[in-house]
Amino acid sequence: MKFYFPDSQDQVSPTYDFINDEYLPHRVRQRDDVYAHQIVTPIPYDGILVSKAVVDGSIKGSGKYTAGQRERLYRFGVRKFLKLPKECATIGDCGAFNYVEEEYPPYEVPEVIDFYERCGFDSGISIDHIIFGYISEESEEQPEPAWEKRQQISLDLAEEFIESVRKSGMPFEPIGAAQGWGPASYAHSVQELQKMGYQRIALGGMVPLKTHEILACLRIIDSIRDSGTHFHLLGINRIDSMEQFARHGVTSFDSTSVFRQAFMDDRHNYHTATDTYTAIRVPQVDGNPALKRLILSGVVSQAEAITAERDCLRALRGFDRGEVPIEEAVEALRRYESLVLGPKKKSYIKHYERTLRAAPWKKCPCALCKKHKIEIAVFRGTERNKSRGFHNLTVLETKMRSLSFG
């Protein structure tokens, strides 16, 4: 089972000063910052997935790449631009989530093929149109006409895509995108894609589905699957079910979920092999928009906030060195939280205390935890938060290696 990490220009600065919260004055992001595959060992994924919408933008607006980054990607190719080692594979796709509200995908097959070829991807996925809806096998509900239209659009574009790749002799592997609204409709898409000649098929639109619904689809798809056909799950990471998915022909998946949980989840920010912990929120007085509004409105004293912030960081670092008792660290957090959040907001103190008592970073073998210690468990600014996300990727990689796909 191969895991691909979707690129969104997520990098960290290896020289960032966590104590003073500042970058080196001569730091240049594209030149000096590093990706997860450059800073942790073993590399926490088997490859990178890059969406055209992330690079070039889409109906929703500009992508994650600056004009200069986009130009360098096209000039140098994906492998050199992302500084990828030889063992990392690459997949290109269109980023269908970015145009899900449109009646028709905003890209044409020739420009997508040009994107894959110019960037030097190992594989490229056909243009698809996401269907957000699910009808179980037992239901008598009928699909919406728009769902059937989107499925046919995806199949028509997949046929044009593979024919163009064959005629032009493009060097990348064509992957057909399958869309559906239930087991039978996904099986129909897969069957049609196999007739076109696809041996690798990406199953899209399954992100909202429950695990048992994904399995229901895979079981029916498996009944019509050719022996040489392999599946890729787009945007799916259900680690506890990967062995079951593999039995139905799934050989790869992509997801940002464990990375994004580091800073997007309410509680499950720091992962271990057996548990998750809440990162300790110590917002920066001069960098947190909500706190700045409270200060500007006179609700919070800036001097009091700065003092409380410094007391928190001092207590946490002292606790990590064994010089400050946990009770003192928790009390410092309590004071800052009450100042920042006020009495009516939800408190995280009991979760912080659980994190501190476990101190999971002390037991973690990854290079990031060894280097940053307690700083990686502090929810504060992009460098700590993305470093924690990279740590979560290493935990996922370890879990994947522990599974049996035989």
Of 93, 156, 226, 275, which one is the catalytic site residue?
Answer: 93
Strand segments, DSSP code E, in 168-217 are 173-178, 200-203
Note the pLDDT tens digit of each residue in 309-346. 999 999 999 999 999 999 999 999 999 998 887 666 78
Establish whether 254 is a catalytic residue. yes
The CA–CA distances, whole Å, from 373 to 207, 239, 267, 384 equal 34, 27, 20, 11
Nearest to 39 by CA among 12, 4, 68, 72: 12
pLDDT at 297: 87
Of 7, 10, 254, 320, which one is the catalytic site residue?
Answer: 254
- Residue type for position 148: E
Note the pLDDT tens digit of each residue in 46-97. 999 999 999 998 766 678 899 999 999 999 999 999 999 999 999 999 999 9
Q: What domains lie within the chain, and their CATH numbers?
A: 46-255 (3.20.20.105), 280-380 (no CATH)
Note the pLDDT tens digit of each residue in 350-359. 999 999 999 9
Has residue 174 got a pLDDT over 60? Answer: yes
Which are the contacts of 208, defined by CB distance < 8 A and separation ≥ 6?
132, 134
Query: Which pLDDT band, with edges at 50, 70 and 90, does 374 fall under?
Result: very high
Average pLDDT for 153-177 = 97
Gap between the Cα atoms of 140 and 130, Å rounded: 22
| Dihedrals phi, psi of 278, to nearest 5 degrees | -85, 125
Distance of CA 129 to the CA centre of its chain: 20
pLDDT at 230: 97
CB 276, CB 270: distance < 8 Å: yes
Strands 47-51 and 2-6: parallel
Q: Is the peptide bond before 105 cis (omega within 30 degrees of 0)?
A: no
Has residue 371 got a pLDDT over 60? Answer: yes
Location of structure tokens 């399954």: 206
CB 280, CB 355: distance < 8 Å: yes
| Dihedrals phi, psi of 6, to nearest 5 degrees | -70, 125
CB 131, CB 164: distance < 8 Å: no
Location of structure tokens 């929703």: 60
Establish whether 93 is a catalytic residue. yes
